[in-house]
Amino acid sequence: MKPLTSLLFAAALALSPSPSKAQRPYYYDPHQIELKEADAVVLGVNAGIGCAFGVVPSIVRKNKVSRVLEDCLKGMLAGTVIYAGEKAAAHASTPGMGWAAKILVGDGVSMRENLALGNGLFDRLAYDIGPVRVSLGTKEANSGKNVQWHLLPGSLVGIAANIAYRSDWNEKATLYSGTIVFDYYRKGKFLLSEPSFAGITTGNVVTMNHHITAHTEDGGIGYTTPLHPHDFTQAYNHEQIHAAQYREYGSLDLVLRFSDMYRRTMDKTHLSLGSDIVAMTLMSVPGGYPVAEFPARQLTVDTFYTKWVEE
């Protein structure tokens, strides 16, 4: 644990707030959670994916039909929990909702992963805490230890990039949402983004832009004032959903760990690559966002999905 402790201590020193940052905005804009017709669609998608996580491995294990159906229902339950978490993330501007989102998504994804591996639903629970994924569970289900931790490269890139670009750490937003949040006040690009971005999620690190750039009528580029506070908050909530989805992408590690080399490397280096491999794959598929969310660009389907979660 010493390397992890040293890393976190160094990060804390680098991100220590100065007195001038005491008035950092939090994007506070709480509003009531409403369920609409679109929610049924997104809930159905999550439930369907959860069912697949249960059914496919169950069929491979040649279980009885009754057990296959049972695993489908358990997967649907896991998908429902994931959706509840993402719905909470869409309201992360309300203090505490971001934390609820992280816990619910972590629970739901862990349930889905346990089901796929043939474990009990709660034998292993994994949550993202900043750039670290912490898993708790039985030794049998958690690679021989009750507590495991792995660093998330994408999130480390997000933190390093914000430090390099001299973004300001928003300690209040980070504390209230459970997600590391930076405010970007410089004019110009951030990583591979265009200056018109309102928010970017790198790994599970959120960066909000306070100098949004827009094209003028004659085709030129002119710096505009920030978005209306309500629109800015909506962009913030949108990025919080992407931060929650990063945990979902980590399920790829279930497949990768069937490789002895990957498993040994993962356990020795304490690096988890699953989330970033999925994110980078999504970046390579035509039809997504412009390259503005490295390394978490979303597919058109994911964009559609995220939009409906927010409504």
Helices (H), the chain: 2-14, 37-60, 65-89, 97-117, 153-164, 171-177, 229-249, 252-256, 260-269, 274-284, 300-310
Is residue 78 within 8 A of residue 125, CB to CB? The reply is no
Residue 295: is the preceding peptide bond cis (ω within 30°)?
A: yes
Nearest to 266 by CA among 160, 153, 121: 153
Structural domain including 226 reads 34-310
Task: List the structure tokens of 91.
Answer: 């309201």
pLDDT score at 31? 65
Interhelix angle 229-249/65-89, nearest 10 degrees: 150
Burial environment of residue 259 by CB neighbours within 10 A (0 to 12, 13 to 18, 19 or more): exposed
- Based on the structure, what is the number of domains in the chain? 1
Give the sheet arrangement for strand 199-202, strand by strand.
168-169, 181-184, 205-209, 199-202
Give domain status of residue 7, yes or no: no
Record the pTM.
0.79
Residues in the chain: 311
Q: Strand 205-209 relative to strand 181-184: parallel, antiparallel, unpaired? A: parallel
Map residue 281 onto helix, strand or coil: helix
Give domain status of residue 5, yes or no: no
**In tens digits, what is the pLDDT along the chain, a chain of 311 residues?**
555 555 444 444 444 444 344 344 556 666 667 777 788 888 999 999 999 999 999 999 999 999 999 999 999 999 999 999 999 999 998 888 999 999 999 999 999 999 999 999 999 999 999 999 999 999 999 988 999 999 999 999 999 999 998 999 999 899 999 999 999 887 777 776 666 677 889 999 999 887 765 544 554 444 455 566 667 788 889 999 999 999 999 999 989 999 999 999 998 999 999 999 998 888 776 544 333 333 333 333 343 344 444 44
Give domain status of residue 170, yes or no: yes
Give domain status of residue 3, yes or no: no
Strand partners for 175: none
Phi then psi dihedrals of residue 22, to 5 deg: -65, -25
Give domain status of residue 6, yes or no: no
Give domain status of residue 259, yes or no: yes
Can you say whether the dihedral through the CA atoms of 51, 55, 57, 63 is positive or negative? positive
CA distances (Å), origin 61, targets 7, 58, 124, 251: 42, 5, 20, 20
pLDDT score at 1? 52
Give domain status of residue 19, yes or no: no
Is residue 285 within 8 A of residue 299, CB to CB? The reply is yes
Phi then psi dihedrals of residue 214, to 5 deg: -125, 155
Task: List the structure tokens of 269.
Answer: 């280096």
Give domain status of residue 22, yes or no: no
Distance from C-alpha of 251 to C-alpha of 120, rounded to nearest angstrom: 16
